[in-house]
Amino acid sequence: MSRRKMLSGAQLKALRKESGYTQGELASRIGISRETVSAIENDKPETMNNIGMEVISKWWSICRQKASEQTRESFFSTVMDYFGFNLS
């Protein structure tokens, strides 16, 4: 299974929603379109295959302060796995 399958749009959506941002608000803060946020959250293959560390990093930076500790830990672990970093 490729790393791209390990990071889901559903998880990114949950992080955004828990943090209290609309798609438009988050898109504006990241510097992408609301349609791109929607495509990411809906796991559109062409979009998921093209998002990189910069978008994920910004998403994380914006949402992490408002997310629960459990969500932050889970998301951080998933992102580390997604990009191939070993925490052990």
The range of the structural domain enclosing residue 43 comes to: 3-81
Q: Give the mean pLDDT of the chain.
A: 86
Report the length, in residues, of the chain: 88
CA distance 60 to 73: 11
As a whole number, mean pLDDT of residues 59-73 equals 91
How much is the average pLDDT of 79-83? Answer: 78
Q: Check residue 20 and give left, alpha or beta (phi > 0: left; psi -120 to 50: alpha).
A: left
* 10 inside domain: yes
The answer to the question of residue 69 being in a domain is yes
Q: How many domains does the chain have?
A: 1
Residue indicated by tokens 């970093």: 85
* pLDDT tens digits, one per residue of 4-47: 446 789 989 999 999 999 999 999 999 999 999 999 999 998 88
Distance from C-alpha of 65 to C-alpha of 81, rounded to nearest angstrom: 21
pLDDT at 39: 96
Q: Can you give the CATH number for the domain in which 52 is found?
A: 1.10.260.40
Question: Can you tell me the distance from the alpha carbon of 51 to that of 44, in angstroms, rounded to the nearest whole number?
Answer: 11
In a domain, residue 87? The reply is no
